[in-house]
Amino acid sequence: MTYFFIDYLTLPYETIVKAHEGDPDAIDTVLSHYAGYIRYFSKVHDQVNAEVEEYVKQQLIAALFKFRFDR
């Protein structure tokens, strides 16, 4: 049963590779996967700050393109 829980929490390797290559659907999948975290950490005084949320999304997308698979 633990395997289902772990699978739910992780993104498939193929999705990360496709996002790294610039596939818009894969990038949306990654953003959707982390949407809860992004919203939670974008809160200022218990309100979501749209500018912070957008900045975090941009940084995540930038990190996807910089990701190195050879390490």
Q: What is the pLDDT of residue 25?
A: 97
Q: What is the pLDDT of residue 71?
A: 73
Structural domain tally of the chain? 1
Residue 1 domain flag: no
Residues of the chain with pLDDT > 70: what percent? 89
pTM of the model: 0.80
Residue 57 domain flag: yes
Residue 4 domain flag: no
List the domain range (segments joined by +) for residue 43: 13-66
Q: What is the pLDDT of residue 2?
A: 52
Please report the DSSP string for 48-64 in residue order: E-HHHHHHHHHHHHHHH
For residue 10, what are its two tokens?
Answer: 């992780």
CA 17 to chain CA mean position, Å: 13
